[in-house]
Amino acid sequence: MGAGRRMRGGLAAVALLVLTACSGSTPASGSGRSAGSGSTPAGAVTVMLTSGPLGQYLSDGSGRALYMWAADTDGRSTCYEACATAWPPLIGPATAGTGVDPALLTSAPRTDGTTQVVYGEYPLYYFVKDTAPGDTLGQGSNEFNAKWWVVGADGEPIAGEASSLSPAPPNMGGY
């Protein structure tokens, strides 16, 4: 009977060591905010501002444009299967880089068990045809029955094409 108690005691000690080593080191899946905690989670992607013909818009740390989809509501993604193949979700955790408001950077669980980065009220995506930093080939696309737009620092979509985003001419007295 003494050997049985020693065995259970040893197993309990090993279990306690494992639990202690594992606790607190990684965020729980779908835990909500993934930025602004004061530390950078391991494997976190950086969301930053990039300047280009569309103005200043969100990108990842390598300069790849990030998009929102007008069909998404309430900060939750509705882009799955073929949609997510063409428009891969930005999977987090994420940290706020240059020009990004950490208060707007959150996350939301996806039905596949991953956690998607959300900025403001919009889940963020890449476009599969954007192959180089600065590409914005998805801007204004109407795929999967809704428009895709890059997102500005304020968390709002930048709607329009690069050529149509130039400053409007001054008002010439109603002309």
State the DSSP H helix or E strand holding residue 47, giving kind and residue range, or none if neither.
strand 45-52
What does the domain layout of the chain look like in residue ranges? 45-163
**How does residue 137 score in pLDDT terms, banded at 50, 70 and 90?**
very high
Query: Residue 10: is its pLDDT beyond 50?
Result: no
CB 24 within 8 A of CB 132: no
**How does residue 41 score in pLDDT terms, banded at 50, 70 and 90?**
low
Q: Alpha-carbon distance 130 to 116, whole Å?
A: 19
Structure tokens at 142: 């109407």
Q: Are strands 142-143 and 146-151 parallel, antiparallel or unpaired?
A: antiparallel
Q: Alpha-carbon distance 2 to 109, whole Å?
A: 48
Claim: this prediction has a pTM higher than 0.85: no
Q: Alpha-carbon distance 164 to 2, whole Å?
A: 82
Query: Residue 156: is its pLDDT beyond 80?
Result: yes
Report the chain's mean pLDDT, rounded to a whole number. 78
**How does residue 171 score in pLDDT terms, banded at 50, 70 and 90?**
very low
Handedness of CA 75, 78, 83, 85 (dihedral sign): positive
More confident residue, 43 or 103: 103
More confident residue, 33 or 118: 118
Burial of 91 (0-12, 13-18, 19+ CB in 10 A): middle
Strand order in the sheet with 45-52: 55-60, 45-52, 94-96
Mean pLDDT of the 110-118 span: 96
pLDDT digits (tens, 9 = 90+) for 69-87: 999 999 999 999 999 999 9
Lowest mean pLDDT among 16-25, 38-47, 67-76, 148-157: 16-25
